[in-house]
Amino acid sequence: MNWIIFFLVVQVLHFAGTWKLYKKAGRKSWEAAIPVYNAVVLMGIINRPKWWVILLFIPVINLLIFPVIWVEIARSFRKFDTKDTWLAILSLGFYNFYLNYVIFDQLKYNANRSIKPPSKTGEWVSSITFAIAAATFVHTYIMQPFTIPTSSLEKSLLIGDFLFVSKFHYGARVPISPIALPMVHDSIPGTGLRSYVKGIEFPYMRLPGLQKVKRNDIVVFNWPSDSLALMWGDTSDKFTYKPIDKKTNYVKRCVGIPGDSLEIKNGYIYINGKKTVLPDRAKPQFNYYVNTNTPFTADEIIHTYNVNPSEASVLNQERTEYFINLDKEHALMMKNDPKVVSIKRNIEAKGSYQPDIFPHDPQYAWSQDNYGPIYIPAKGDKVTLDKKSLPFYQRIISEYENNDFEIKDNGDIYINGVKTDQYTFKQDYFWMMGDNRQRSLDARFWGYTPFDHVVGKPVFIWMSLDQNETAINKKVRWDRLFTTVGGDGKPKSYFVYFLVALGLYYVGKEVVKRRKK
């Protein structure tokens, strides 16, 4: 509703600030009042192509185009001075009111105005504006850069990997927060200030995608539980609302899809009763207690056993007892090391209630290593609501699907004011987990991820930096540059092919340039 009100307010302001200008340009004043049509007419008045109208209705992109339109209106009535340009922009378009009412009689419409900027500065500003608009469009609807901050998906994705995340695989989500700084997430870097206008939102919409989220896909999504008011100076420690698209970006593996029944036994995932088979690039890791007769060197831990130094702890002064995070391959390698006396995987037993484990209810005494079974809802599924099922679905009903949910003192359930004991899900849900089984904040702690929280699919690693190295030849993980995220077998780097293609491009460009001479 808020965005409809906002749209109507914009239309009213546009009419109030330009109806006389339309008339001076040879049009009818009422044409400034008709939504969409008024924009088409305006493009003719400012001598700009009709397709610009489309840009005005693309969320976030329009925020970059509106200032251009305000400046173009002023210039169409011979207001070319730098001060006029800045007044048009800094007044947020209200400079039109000054033109429309205060100095209207002095204005002269320039019907044949050249659309070329009158100065080098103007040309530069115009080029930068449209470059930012193009980059914002790509970032919002096609491909978004993303950095891996944690080790939850090692060894598939490493800390320091720089990715491109495809928006079009699952369908690009139309921005829910339409008034926001382009290419910035929830806060302005270095300031702690919100990057978007709170309270004005579009309803959830998504463009058609190329595929559905498949089991074991790596997925970037907005963290469903990100609603704590611990930013922007708020220290109340109370929950607060955040728009979906401004919740923190997470990346995990989708181990369970809608309709699946999931269970974890001793750290291993079972889907519909069968042990899941992960892609060969996935290397699940677990914590191990390791005893040795001789201390490990740092080089052995990092390079021989491929361990992140932050995930290896020394437990005694003699440096012979360790708590280390290993994948299966390197655990077997360590077991065969002559200096290793014993190695044992650490598993949390099922049977004791842990409040931080979803669904956070004493009825379900589960651990992160022995969990479930749990059902993953699909759109259209109908469930019975009772004492056993409510811990799983109450958050879905009230927060993810925006219903008014109430439990009376006598135990009766009311949804949107209607007494019921059943509920039908409005969208699909997924189970997102890290491959780093015991060092990942994932679905075992917050529960289901709704489809409207899905951002995109990581497809390409263009840079990878090792946080544990300082030398440039070791800092850059050259074998990971320009590799694909998905696929079978060891990742293949296409960096050399990129350099060759880049070289051929510049050689070809130089040849064409010399021939023209």
Residues classed as catalytic: 152, 252
364: nearest Cα among 385, 383, 386, 391: 391
β-strand partners of 70? none
Tell me if residue 188 falls in helix, strand or coil. coil
In our burial notation (b when 16+ CB lie closer than 10 A, e otherwise), range 119-156 reads eeebeeeeeeeeeebeebbebbbebbebebeebbbbbb
Cβ atoms of residues 271 and 262 within 8 Å:
yes
Cβ atoms of residues 25 and 46 within 8 Å:
no
Q: Which amino acid is at 182?
A: P
State how far the Cα of 231 lies from the Cα of 162, in Å rounded to an integer.
26
Residues in the chain, total: 517
β-strand partners of 313? 323
State how far the Cα of 443 lies from the Cα of 422, in Å rounded to an integer.
24
Residues 6+ apart with CB under 8 A from 321: 289, 290, 291, 292, 314, 315
State how far the Cα of 437 lies from the Cα of 368, in Å rounded to an integer.
8
State how far the Cα of 135 lies from the Cα of 126, in Å rounded to an integer.
14
State how far the Cα of 263 lies from the Cα of 373, in Å rounded to an integer.
4
Name the one residue in this structure whose structure tokens are 């360790």: 322
Q: What is the DSSP string of 269-282?
A: EEETTEE----TT-
Cβ atoms of residues 115 and 107 within 8 Å:
no
Cβ atoms of residues 261 and 270 within 8 Å:
no
